Amino acid sequence: MIKIILKRGRDESLRRFHPWVFSGAIADVQGNPSEGDLVSVHASDGECLAYGHFQVGSIAVRVLSFDDSALSPGFWEVMLSRALQVRVSTGLHHMSDSTGVSEASREISTNCYRLVHGEGDNLPGLIIDYYDGVCVIQAHSVGMFRAKKQISDALQKVYGPDLKAVYDKSSGTAPFKAGLELVDGYLYKKEGFNDDEQIVIENGQKFMVNWTEGQKTGFFLDQRDNRALVGQMAKGRNVLNLFCYTGGFSIYALANGAEHVDSVDSSKKAMMMVDRNVEINGFDSSRHTSLCCDAIDYLKNVPEGKYDLMIVDPPAFAKHRGALKNALRAYQRLNAAAISKVAPGGLVFTYSCSQVVDKEAFALAVFSAAAQTGRSVRILDRLNQPCDHSVNIYHPEGEYLKGLLLYVE
């Protein structure tokens, strides 16, 4: 096996179980690794510290294990079983019982969740989302992309008869310069399963998920808890859902007694899915309006006081640190517009999913926005990603979703 030797004194982060080895910490590479190869990482005195996937770039190794378990033939099954057990312990997944009754046949309130969240589940570079028996994989590293067949085989063992399909959707996430054959497709299909979309349930609400054509893996599972919170506060309110995608927040608001909901997104495909989700949940279409247009432009032209609950959940404004300053300005402008337009006594749920924008920077941008409007604003709650998007305590960089619930007088 190829050995990565660290410079003297550059092993502290690995001894604290941080899952990345940066290229600047490497003194020597004993061998000629290809990107994605499993390598061992050693301190300057030769002590073996970890095993992981080698890659080209500033992050040279993504650690899979701090012992030799990554070398075991059963590694993927063990790791995926551990990840599933976390979802069982938090009530997101119900295993088949001793009578053979499967999850699919139970009366359950949620049958979709994130099974693997990269470093949060000690599998850097791997995302797996579960949609009622369909696992959608996204590999963010060459090593994970090359291991996708092993991962698919392990998923079949872990889920057993409850698994309907495994779909690889890595074409937009795997490194495109690595010369990989990036074609999305099924790695496994249960006999008789031929769907590319299906209805899933989240907290009792129904959503149509299309994993072949939708963004990411088909649905934004990271807002589950925040959608439920919107539902708790939506009764009798006129709701504006900006950057709505397939209408997750809108469906929760309608289900919990909102007077009317306007959903805004620039994607025609997304708006068509919003309308389908309204229909499959049986809501009166007169209580909902789909608006396919630019969300920021729409907000600029909204009459003051028309809405008393707004959801502001834009796509990432900063995907790297070089874009941070401009992103913070954009968050400030967007939130100033929302705060200035919401009715007195109204609520604004505002979010950032940009990993490079930390909680303090985002809160400061929203503070500046509030000050710009001159209105009295209270923070009622600070919002985060849910438990299936867990953060490895040794890898705080995994905390990316942050939000504020504002009360505006």
What pLDDT tens digit does each residue of the chain (409 aa) get? 999 999 999 999 999 999 999 999 999 999 999 999 999 999 999 999 999 999 999 999 999 999 999 999 999 999 999 999 999 999 999 876 544 444 444 567 999 999 999 999 999 999 999 999 999 999 999 999 999 999 999 999 999 999 999 999 999 999 988 889 999 999 999 999 999 999 999 999 999 999 999 999 999 999 999 999 999 999 999 999 999 999 999 999 999 999 999 999 999 999 999 999 999 999 999 999 999 999 999 999 999 999 999 999 998 887 788 888 898 999 999 999 999 999 999 999 999 998 889 999 999 999 999 999 999 999 999 999 999 999 999 999 999 999 999 999 9
Element (H, E) at 340: helix 324-341
Q: Which of 396, 390, 386, 354 is nearest to 120 (CA)?
A: 390
How much is the pLDDT for 99?
41
**Alpha helix stretches (DSSP H) within 190-287:** 224-233, 248-255, 268-280
Element (H, E) at 363: helix 359-373
The domains found in the chain, sorted by start residue, are 3-70 (2.30.130.10), 72-199 (3.30.750.80), 220-408 (3.40.50.150)
How much is the pLDDT for 105?
46
How much is the pLDDT for 107?
66
Query: Per-residue DSSP letters for 202-222?
Result: ETTEEEEEETTTSSTTSS-GG
Q: Which of 282, 231, 279, 295 is nearest to 257 (CA)?
A: 231
β-strand partners of 210: 197
Radius of gyration of the chain (CA): 23
Q: Which residues are catalytic?
A: 353
Element (H, E) at 367: helix 359-373
Q: Which of 209, 313, 220, 206 is nearest to 254 (CA)?
A: 206
Which phi-psi region, left, alpha or beta, contains residue 331 (left: φ > 0; alpha: ψ -120 to 50)?
A: alpha
How much is the pLDDT for 265?
97
How much is the pLDDT for 161?
95
Q: Which of 406, 328, 341, 400 is nearest to 368 (CA)?
A: 328
Beta strand 260-265 with 288-292: parallel, antiparallel or unpaired? parallel
How much is the pLDDT for 318?
75
pTM higher than 0.85: yes
How much is the pLDDT for 323?
85
**Exposed / middle / buried, residue 119 (Cβ in 10 Å: 0-12, 13-18, 19+):** buried
Q: In what order do the strands lie in the sheet with 185-189?
A: 112-117, 126-131, 134-139, 165-168, 185-189
